[in-house]
């Protein structure tokens, strides 16, 4: 280039649309102020994939129940689901934003489905063969990098006697993941010796768990849908005194989003145990109305026949698109 030759300037009106990222997703990414371009690119990979691409809404297929509950309890109702390729294909064909699974499951289809869908490596798991309800770390950030994953997934148990150790584990793993440009998805499930069974889905404890996940640096937070039960006496006083709206499911979803840095963090809600389709759709409508970012739904999908699963996921996505609210 000659000394007096000017560098050609980019057009001043260039917008995010010019490279395929919608304004909605660009706005979401702007809320992750400390993160590198690599991390934001991987969050965008998830948000820009599948039927809900670009809307800021997500449906993620998680299949870690074989670890949690054992193979027969998880897959015997639909024997095709013993095959990890089945879940990959279900996530791809249904237009999910991402597929989340433990190390071995992802490795079993890594080559066949390379690049077909964003992956989340579920890096820790519990199992039902031990009495201790803790999580073992079964994968690494380098495994996630090797498999081309967009994110790692990690479960924490707020209220558990193992919580402090889990916090330290995810702090280190998330720091490493972020250094490689990989995002962090945090399953935040309230449980422990001082938490009643009803309290595991109470609005105050779920809100606390979501807020704790945000404080721990999660990019995407997964929690259960809360009930209107109030577990903690001191929290109950505040909810009643300040008249925090929690009567309807949509109001409770809205409050969870408020507690997740006032909508600055992405939150998806668990599908829970297998239930009838109408209940699944009602959950999705409440999430949509309450401003949640979507669903992470496993057993309610893969424990049904494939055609039923795809039809159900299609309707859930239509709800998040505002077509069937």
Q: Which residues are catalytic?
A: 222
Residue (of 40, 53, 31) closest to 260 by Cα position: 31
Number of residues assigned to the chain: 325
Cβ 257 vs Cβ 214: under 8 Å:
no
Cβ 287 vs Cβ 295: under 8 Å:
yes
Nearest 5°: CA angle at 271, between 163 and 30? 70
**Signed CA dihedral, 101, 136, 293, 171: sign only:** negative
Alpha-carbon dihedral of residues 145, 64, 281, 244, nearest 10 degrees? -80
Query: CA 295, CA 59: separation in Å to the nearest integer?
Result: 5
Q: Which residues pair with 62 in a beta bridge?
A: 100
Query: CA 41, CA 178: separation in Å to the nearest integer?
Result: 12
Q: Could you give phi then psi for residue 267, rounded to 5 degrees?
A: -130, 125
First-residue to last-residue Cα distance in the chain = 58
The DSSP bridge pattern shows strands 183-188 and 151-156 to be parallel
């Amino acid at each position: 280039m000659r000394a007096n030759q000017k560098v050609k300037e980019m057009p001043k009106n260039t917008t995010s649309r010019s490279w395929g990222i919608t304004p909605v997703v660009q706005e979401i990414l702007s809320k992750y102020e400390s993160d590198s371009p690599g991390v934001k690119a991987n969050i965008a990979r998830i948000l820009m994939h599948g039927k809900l691409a670009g809307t800021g809404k997500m449906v993620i297929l998680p299949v870690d129940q074989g670890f949690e509950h054992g193979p027969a309890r998880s897959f015997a109702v639909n024997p095709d689901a013993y095959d990890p390729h089945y879940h990959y294909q279900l996530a791809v064909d249904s237009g999910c934003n991402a597929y989340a699974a433990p190390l071995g499951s992802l490795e079993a289809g890594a080559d066949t489905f390379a690049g077909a869908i964003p992956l989340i490596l579920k890096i820790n798991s519990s199992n039902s063969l031990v009495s201790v309800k803790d999580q073992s770390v079964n994968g690494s950030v380098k495994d996630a990098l090797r498999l081309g994953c967009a994110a790692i997934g990690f479960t924490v148990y707020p209220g558990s006697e193992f919580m402090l150790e889990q916090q330290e584990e995810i702090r280190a793993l998330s720091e490493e993941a972020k250094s490689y440009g990989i995002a962090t998805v945090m399953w935040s499930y309230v449980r422990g010796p001082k938490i009643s069974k009803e309290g595991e889905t109470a609005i105050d404890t779920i809100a606390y768990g979501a807020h704790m996940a945000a404080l721990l640096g999660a990019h995407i937070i997964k929690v259960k849908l809360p009930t209107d039960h109030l577990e903690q006496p001191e929290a109950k006083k505040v909810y009643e005194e300040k008249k925090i709206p929690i009567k309807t499911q949509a109001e409770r979803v809205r409050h969870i989003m408020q507690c997740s840095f006032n909508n600055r963090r992405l939150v998806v809600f668990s599908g829970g145990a297998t239930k009838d389709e109408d209940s699944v759709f009602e959950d999705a409508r409440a999430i949509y109305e309450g401003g949640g970012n979507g669903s992470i739904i496993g057993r309610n999908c893969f424990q049904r026949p494939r055609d039923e699963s795809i039809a159900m996921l299609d309707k859930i996505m239509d709800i998040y698109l505002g077509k069937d609210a």
